[in-house]
């Protein structure tokens, strides 16, 4: 690697700390939330099957719609993450890199 960075100094940089905090809150927050939602599926279907049997649209029941909602959640997380990362995280990273020179 061509450049030798002063890692300790960067680790104390204000911009870096902001980026780190934002990333941590966003990434772990969404990760925990979506994982919790995912585990609702085996949990509810296993322990509360009656809930899944309630019919909503014709023969289509809560269970089927809940499975579909897992796909929607995955898409949603992917889209929102892409937007935030492309706009905010990448911008902050660029600013930080410029500041360090």
Partner 1 sequence: MFAKALATLIVTFSLSTAALAVEQAKPVAQPTAAASQAAPATAPAAVTTAAPASAPVSAAPATAPAPAKVKPNRAITITMFMAIIVVTLGVVVWAAKRTTSAADFYAAGGGITGLQNGWAIAGDYMSAASFLGMSGLISLYGIDGFMYAVGPMFSFIAILLVVAEPCRNAGKFTLGDILSFRAAPKTVRGVAALSTVTVSLFYLIAQMVGAGKLMQVLLDIPYKVSVIGVGVLMVGYVVFGGMKATTWVQIIKAGLLMTGTVILAFLVMAKAGMNPVGFFTDIVNSPLIQDHVRMNVLKDAVAKPGFDYGQRFMEPGLFLKNPLDQISLGIAWALGAAGLPHILMRFFTVPSAKEARKSIVIALFINASFFFLINLIGFGAALYLTPQLISSVDKGGNMATLLLAQKMGGGAGTIGGDVFLAFICAVAFATILAVVSGLVLAASAAIAHDVYVNIIKGGNADQDTQVRVARITSLFVGIAAIVMGLAAEKENVVALVALAFAVAASGNFPAVMLSLFWKRFNTAGVVGAIVVGTVSALSLVMISPVMTYPQKIANDAKKVITTLEQKQVEGAVLTEKDLTALDKARADFKKNDGGTSMVGLKAPIFPLKNPAIVSLPLGLLAAILGTFMFRDRRAEEMFDEIEVRQITGLGISKASDH
User: Footprint of partner 1 on this chain (CB under 8 A)?
Assistant: 1, 3, 5, 7-8, 10-11, 16, 19-20, 23, 27-28, 30-31, 34-35, 38-39, 41-43, 45-47, 49, 52-53, 55, 57-61, 63-64, 67-68, 70-71, 74-75, 77-78, 81-82, 85-86, 90, 93, 96-97, 100
Nearest-Å Rg of the Cα atoms of the chain is: 21
Least distance in angstroms from the C-beta of 44 to partner 1 = 9
Of 76, 11, 95, nearest to 37 by C-alpha is 76
First to last CA, the chain: 16
Least distance in angstroms from the C-beta of 95 to partner 1 = 11
Alpha helix (H) ranges present in 1-101? 7-12, 14-47, 49-52, 62-84, 90-100
Among residues 3 and 14, whose Cβ is nearest to partner 1? 3
Least distance in angstroms from the C-beta of 18 to partner 1 = 11
Cα atoms in the Cβ-side hemisphere of radius 13 Å centred on 12? 3
């Amino acid at each position: 690697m061509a450049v030798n960075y002063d890692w300790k100094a960067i680790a104390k940089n204000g911009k870096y700390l902001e980026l780190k905090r934002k990333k941590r809150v966003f990434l772990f927050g969404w990760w925990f939330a979506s994982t919790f939602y995912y585990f609702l599926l085996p949990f509810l279907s296993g322990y509360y099957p009656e809930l899944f049997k309630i019919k909503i649209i014709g023969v289509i029941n809560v269970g089927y719609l809940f499975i579909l909602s897992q796909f929607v959640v995955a898409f949603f997380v992917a889209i929102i993450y892409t937007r935030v990362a492309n706009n905010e995280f990448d911008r902050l990273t660029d600013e930080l890199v410029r500041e360090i020179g």
